[in-house]
Amino acid sequence: MARLMVMLIALAPVMALAGPVGVGDPEAGEQLAASCAACHGSDGNSSVSAWPKIAGQHEDYAARQTRLVRDGLRDVPEMIPFVMNLSDQDIADIAAFYATQSLEPGVADEDLVDLGRRIYMDGNRQTGVPACAACHGPAGEGVLGSHYPVVRAQHADYSADRLRRYRAGEINGDDDPYSLMMVGVAARLTDEEIEAVSSFMEGLHRAR
């Protein structure tokens, strides 16, 4: 936990500058999102576990990640044909539309829940892995405006792939503080911990 807090303090001045580019129009975004539906679903709930659910995702986070892909800083080659000609406003509109959609709940593997809960809520103090809940919240809601995304109900396959990529050192450009942070967080995760925490996040539901 102390290690994570040091990282957060060091990155805070950079994060403060990473606000949203513009206000999105959900109605305009609904029209533009037609090309996204093949992978992410018409309402942002993808039916393929390798492709992320984006329904209910924070608008600022989704817009920024899409700009990173468009600008060649985040490596998602299959998205390039769909985003390469989008303006910042187009992207903001699409993100605003998906932010208004309801995220469908997922189900965790019961055999992985105990380990997944420990990693998500408490981390692994012996190996220096911080708790996921420190940034993403106990219910996986993330933090609006701080680029900490919603992770609840996300496909476990997608989350596990992202964590493995971070563990391998994949970042979204040298100046991206958020992926640099995640590389540090994931560096000491084992394969077993990644599978378990990803499954646990898929089963997380909104706090009532």
Tens digits of residue pLDDT in 140-189: 999 998 899 999 999 999 999 999 999 999 999 988 999 999 999 999 99
Residues in the chain: 208
Residue 125 structure tokens: 């103090």
Q: Which of 162, 153, 194 is nearest to 44 (CA)?
A: 153
Residue 73 structure tokens: 């800083």
Whole-angstrom Cα distance, residue 26 to residue 32?
Answer: 10
- Pair 33, 97: CB distance under 8 Å: yes
**The pLDDT of residue 10 is above 90:** no
Residue 110 structure tokens: 């019961």
Q: What is the pLDDT of residues 49-96, one digit of tens each?
A: 999 999 999 999 999 999 999 999 999 999 999 999 999 999 999 999
Which residue has 């403060």 as its token pair?
16
* Alpha-carbon distances, residue 93 vs 26, 31, 80, 96, 115 (angstroms): 6, 9, 18, 5, 39
Q: What is the pLDDT of residues 93-112, one digit of tens each?
A: 999 999 999 999 999 999 99
pTM above 0.95, yes or no: no
- Pair 136, 149: CB distance under 8 Å: yes
- CATH T-level assignment (fold) for domain 19-99: Cytochrome Bc1 Complex; Chain D, domain 2 (1.10.760)
**The pLDDT of residue 27 is above 60:** yes
CA 133, 137, 140, 144 torsion-angle sign:
negative
Whole-angstrom Cα distance, residue 90 to residue 119?
Answer: 37
- CATH T-level assignment (fold) for domain 2-12+105-203: Cytochrome Bc1 Complex; Chain D, domain 2 (1.10.760)
* Alpha-carbon distances, residue 133 vs 64, 66, 150 (angstroms): 22, 24, 11
- Pair 113, 200: CB distance under 8 Å: yes
Domain residue ranges in the chain: 2-12+105-203, 19-99
